[in-house]
Amino acid sequence: MMWQALVTLLLMPVGPPLQPVVPAADDSIPAQVQQRLGELERCENSLPPGCGNPAIEKLLSDLWSLAGRWAAGQLAAHPEASAEDLAGAMRKLAPGPSLEVSAVRLASGSAAAYAVAVTAVRYGTLLVSARQPDGSFKVVWTLHELAAAHAAAADEIARWGDPRKGFDEGPLAGSVHALPSTPTGHARFYLDAMSQPPAGGTFGAQISIWEWDGREPKCLFIKSYVVSLGTTGGAALKADRLELHSKESFKRFYSCDPCPEPEAVWTLRITPVGVEDLGRRLLTPPELSAADELVDRMARHRDVSDLASLVVIRRLSDALGDYGIAESGRYMLDSYNVENQGASSVLHLRAVDYPPLDLTFENRAGHLFATGLEIPGDSDSETQEPP
């Protein structure tokens, strides 16, 4: 019986059970963050903007480190917090517009992990804070560190590592959003980012899609595109489709800097194993694209017999010559509208330093064909293809 008593004694717990390590909150972090944000804003408000690259890089390094420490402390105290709860706790670091935070929970329980997008003034990063075996949390991955490793490649990821972008481009910053998990249970998310130039109405944006494998995010898709102040903002998830709005380019015409034309809807399909690019669909009238192609080819002395009738070609050629339209010239749109007339449509096109055009189109063999042209103010301008 003695051996039974000995076994029982050995199996008895000695001392209290092991508890997760919850580090004391560092109450000095908010004041440190606010101090550095103030310094960063002063740099941004100087003329010319910026206090010099090393100064900005040091401020950002401090801010990202402080944000990571604060996130780890909040999660250690609340390991099952929702993504919005964590984002709310992060925003308390510096109430106001100078600090923006969004978050996605990637996993829960002993493998809990969160992706957190942070924007300080106009500079952004993404970090992942994950639970450790002792119950604490720590930052295990950051986008700005990954970007530094891509600097030599100068690729899409590298853009997150360089705050020294040009005046019209600016650094990237964005928000993080959840996507459906993979069939194997891996969390996925997308980072909806825009460049933050100090001036200008047309600027770059970037969409990236990531998968969390339990150790680090893997980039499934990343691509830049162009938007303007007038572009419909933000990516939208509709079932398995991610839709974004972009500002595209015409060959011969262009819109004002903050104007959205030509606006397009870009669709990405989120498949069980990856991402499929379904392309972009223009929202501007197809007549505008047809007119752009027609006048571009004519300015470059290319064949347009598949785009317009002979009488339209002759009259348009005269008009372009009268206005001295150069082969390499591009012209800003002033206004346009399309008037439907049964089987045909009329595009009323006005551009700066360009002849006013009223082009009549018909659909032939699946594409628009110009059959008539009027140039307002020119008494000899009415030209219509004979029936």
Amino acid at residue number 309: S
pLDDT at 26: 81
As beta bridge partners, residue 119 has: 100, 124
User: In this predicted structure, what is the pLDDT of residue 51?
Assistant: 62
Kindly state the helix (H) or strand (E) to which residue 125 belongs, with its residue range. strand 123-131
User: Which DSSP helix (H) or strand (E) runs through 147?
Assistant: helix 143-149
Cβ atoms within 10 Å, residue 343: 7
DSSP 160: G
Q: Strand, helix or coil at 219?
A: strand
pTM of the model: 0.86
CA distances from 4 to 1, 8, 14, 334 (A): 5, 6, 18, 95
Tell me if the bond preceding 48 is cis, omega within 30° of 0: yes
Rg, the chain, Cα only:
29
Q: What are the residue ranges of CATH 3.10.450 in the chain?
A: 286-384
pLDDT in tens, 183-216: 999 999 999 999 988 778 999 999 999 999 999 9
Under DSSP, is residue 289 helix (H, G, I), strand (E, B) or coil? Answer: helix
On the 0-12 / 13-18 / 19+ scale of CB atoms within 10 A, 356 is middle
Taking a C-beta distance cutoff of 8 angstroms, is the pair 297, 276 a contact?
no
Residue 239 gets the label, from left (phi > 0), alpha (psi -120 to 50) or beta, of left
Class of the domain covering 286-384: alpha beta
At residue 16, the pLDDT reads: 40
The 3-state DSSP class for residue 86 equals helix
Task: Reply yes or no: is the peptide bond before residue 262 cis, omega within 30 of 0.
Answer: yes
Residues with Cβ within 8 Å of 95's Cβ and at least 6 positions away in sequence, in order, are: none
Each residue's pLDDT, cut to its tens digit, for the chain (387 residues) gives 444 544 344 444 444 433 444 455 588 999 999 999 999 998 888 755 556 678 888 999 999 999 999 999 999 999 999 999 999 999 999 988 999 999 999 999 999 999 999 999 999 999 999 999 999 999 999 999 999 999 999 999 999 987 666 545 788 999 999 999 999 999 999 999 999 887 789 999 999 999 999 999 999 999 999 999 999 888 999 999 999 999 999 999 999 999 999 999 999 999 999 999 999 999 999 999 999 999 999 988 999 999 999 999 999 998 888 777 777 789 999 999 999 999 999 999 999 988 999 999 999 989 999 999 999 977 555 555 555
